[in-house]
Amino acid sequence: MNPSCYSLQPTQEGRFVRYLGEVSTAQCLAAFASTERVDLSVFGARSGAEWLTADEMPKTESAGWWISRLEDHSLCVVDFTAAIAGVVLSTHDDGEAAFSVDTMALAWRLLVQLVGAPSAEALAPVLGANLGSYVSPVNGSFTVYRSFEAYLDRA
């Protein structure tokens, strides 16, 4: 997985949100064991001309089941929110992901699971020094944007 953008944001509730840009819901789910329980709370997707909501989907399934479903059924995910192993995963438009966790340690472990140890080790000092900012890898270095709007306006 090679996200276009990373962020780590502490919340007022004492949680930490790990943001990744340009990643799929299936890629995010692959960070968890395939047998890990996924408790769905929000779901919206298109499958051809059909619109699917959380009401049409099982509330509890495994990460592996969801990955298979997302990869095998041409679903265009618009909204996905689920609790998985103490993490709340929210994806939007199958390209933006936020992982809400209870501890900074879990946020860092999750980054290693998502992008691998070498990439996580390179990102850690930049993200740690720029909490709440958006960090984008560019040609082996990192560009820091102080807001999401600044990141979007980069082009």
Low-confidence ranges of the chain (pLDDT < 70): 73, 94, 155
- Alpha-carbon distance 124 to 42, whole Å? 31
Predicted pLDDT of residue 23? 93
The answer to whether residues 98 and 90 touch, using CB atoms and an 8 Å cutoff, is: yes
- 79 near 42, Cβ under 8 Å? yes
Mean pLDDT, rounded, of the chain = 91
Quick one: pLDDT at residue 103? Answer: 93
Any idea where the domains of the chain sit in the sequence? 5-149
The model's pTM is: 0.91
Residue 52 confidence (pLDDT): 87
Q: CA-CA distance, 48 to 85, in Å (whole number)?
A: 32
Token code pair at residue 83: 């609790």
pLDDT in tens, 114-155: 998 899 999 999 999 999 999 999 888 999 999 999 998 886
